[in-house]
């Protein structure tokens, strides 16, 4: 937990405070869907109205950074946009998504009928488009996506 807090909370807040002092108008934080928790009611996606329920150290640290960042925003007037990104895929993807891709490419039948958990994915190009919009769109100010 200490390592996650050092990077995700203290690192983020140090940068945000310096940005506010420098007169940055808007700070965009790449957070994580892990802030929301691990599961929803069957068939229901996470939404912007979902009450955060992080379950692991990573998710907790990302949520703590969001809370503190909102306070910096309130104190300084710097706008904040929070993006809770899902699993991102694209060229040179690694980790869990790479494992899934390799399993599919192997040609072996996968027991997907036994899987009842739905996950959201985002193409890296789509995530970049969202970030670009969040940097400048007036209605993105102080929103969580």
Residue 102 belongs to some domain of the structure: no
Residue 62 belongs to some domain of the structure: yes
Residue 89 is a catalytic residue:
no
Q: Are 104 and 110 in contact (CB under 8 A)?
A: yes
Residue 107 belongs to some domain of the structure: no
Provide the whole-model pTM.
Answer: 0.84
Residue 113 belongs to some domain of the structure: no
Catalytic residue among 4, 58, 63, 89: 58
Total domains in the chain come to: 1
Domain of 41 in residue numbering reads as 2-86+123-140
Residue 13 belongs to some domain of the structure: yes
In tens, the pLDDT along 37-69 reads: 888 777 778 877 788 999 999 999 999 999 999
Full DSSP string of 106-132: T-----GGG------EEEHHHHHHHHH
Q: For position 115, what pLDDT does the model report?
A: 62
Which residue from 13, 8, 6 is spatially nearest to 80, judged by alpha carbons? 13
- The rounded distance, in Å, linking the Cα atoms of 18 and 20 is 5
Q: What is the CATH number of the domain that holds 6?
A: 3.40.50.720
């Amino acid at each position: 937990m200490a390592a996650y807090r050092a990077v995700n909370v203290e690192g983020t807040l140090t940068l945000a405070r310096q940005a506010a002092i420098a007169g940055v108008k808007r700070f965009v934080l790449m957070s994580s869907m892990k802030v929301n928790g691990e599961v929803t009611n069957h068939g229901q996606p996470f939404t912007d109205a979902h009450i955060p329920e992080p379950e692991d150290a990573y998710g907790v640290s990302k949520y703590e950074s969001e809370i503190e960042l909102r306070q910096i925003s309130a104190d300084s007037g710097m706008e904040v946009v929070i993006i809770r990104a899902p699993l991102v895929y694209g060229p040179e993807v690694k980790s869990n998504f790479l494992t899934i891709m390799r399993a599919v490419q192997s040609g072996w039948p996968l027991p997907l009928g036994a899987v009842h958990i739905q996950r959201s994915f985002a193409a890296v190009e789509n995530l970049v488009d969202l970030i670009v919009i969040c940097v400048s769109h007036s209605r993105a100010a102080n929103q969580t996506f």
